[in-house]
Amino acid sequence: MSKIIVTGGCGYIGSHTVIALIDQGYKVVVFDDFSNASEDTLDRIAKITGIRPLFTRVDLKEKIKVLEAFNEHKEAKAVIHFAAYKAVKESINNPLDYYENNLFSLINVLNAQQAVGINNFIFSSSATVYGMPESFPMTENSPVKRPFSPYGNTKKIAEEILEDYTNANTKLSFISLRYFNPIGAHDSGHIGELPSGIPNNLMPYITQTAAGLRDKLWVFGDDYPTKDGTAVRDYIHVVDLAEAHLAALQYLMKNQQKANYEIYNLGTGQGYSVLEVIKSFELANNLRLNYEITSRREGDVAVMYASTDLAKQVLGWSAKRDLKSMVASAWKWEQNFRK
């Protein structure tokens, strides 16, 4: 079966995708430096799938090391590039770290894969490239705008790099996947999201509050023009997201692309407010969450959800798991992990 290189394969979305790939019989090679992931993720993947992925510890900012790592796996058929820093707040405080890490890594990976002749590439992008949206749902043709954070801007610039690069090299088959809000965890409860320090994102903040690690959840703003005043997002189960990568990969491997660079939104197409997520979490897990409304968080948009038609029509993929399954799996993971 084909060998696939997964950068950042020990991270949150990367690890779930590695499992989906192994389950489909792919031979997976993970490149990771554990800068924001734990080494025992490889053991956890082995526990779930029965197979330990091949692994190379490499800092993707080191051009020569990246080339060496690719040289060891020349026969790989595709690269799925997850490795990146992703904390919005941290990126505002340390913008150069984000530009350096996310963009140097991307360029080194592209150079190395070209050097060894791998033409298929999937990039981990984000709905953040839509910036402050004007209308809904977001389609892949909605205008791309300057994201609020340097993190978001690294995704926008990365997409521009990929566009220019594929324009100059027509034999390449590249896809960018724009994630909306990935949450939840693998059904086994053995892997899930593991933010370092205080979580920025809603779901890990909820599960850590329920676990007693945080006193209370602060709900950022209840004066948005939405049904209950709290902000609306398109939450997508991380396992659905992993399966979307599989669909994109199969599409690339079958040479079905019309253009050599294509972009797909990955969401459910359904928006939920912060309060709806909280209620769903309480109901699904039969507990009460300590939360309080506070002022809006700077840079947040009121509403964001995806049009999912393109991924469905072209990749034959759509999300299957509902909000209940997302919040229940997130809580199962948090509890298992704390044990």
Q: What is the DSSP letter of 303?
A: B
Nearer to ligand UFG, 127 or 238 (CB): 127
Site for ligand UFG in 82-121 (CB under 6 A): 86, 88
224 assigned to active site: no
Residue 126 touches ligand UFG, criterion: CB under 6 A: yes
Q: What is the DSSP letter of 180?
A: -
Please report how close the Cβ of residue 149 comes to ligand UFG at its closest, in angstroms: 6
Binds ligand UFG by CB under 6 A, chosen from 104, 136, 218, 337? 218
Residue 240 exposure: Cα atoms within 13 Å on the Cβ side: 29
Residue 330 touches ligand UFG, criterion: CB under 6 A: no
Nearer to ligand UFG, 127 or 241 (CB): 127
* CB 208, CB 197: distance < 8 Å: no
Q: What is the H or E stretch that residue 155 is in?
A: helix 150-168
Binds ligand UFG by CB under 6 A, chosen from 220, 257, 282, 335? 220
Nearer to ligand UFG, 126 or 166 (CB): 126
Residue 181 touches ligand UFG, criterion: CB under 6 A: yes
Distance CA(204)–CA(111), nearest Å, equals 35
**From the candidates 151, 224, 272, 305, which is the catalytic residue?**
151
Site for ligand UFG in 133-162 (CB under 6 A): 151-152
Angle between helices 150-168 and 105-116 (to 10 degrees): 20
Nearer to ligand UFG, 73 or 156 (CB): 156
Nearest Cα to 49, choosing from 210, 214, 242?
242
Site for ligand UFG in 263-302 (CB under 6 A): 274, 297, 300
Binds ligand UFG by CB under 6 A, chosen from 70, 98, 205, 317? 205
Looking at the chain, list the stretches that DSSP marks H as alpha helix, in order from N- to C-terminal side: 12-23, 41-49, 63-71, 88-93, 95-99, 105-116, 150-168, 202-210, 238-253, 274-285, 309-310, 323-338
Q: What is the H or E stretch that residue 81 is in?
A: strand 78-81
Q: What is the DSSP letter of 230?
A: S
Active-site residues, by number, are 151
Q: Which residues bind ligand UFG (CB under 6 A)?
A: 86, 88, 126-128, 151-152, 181, 200-202, 205, 217-220, 231, 233, 274, 297, 300
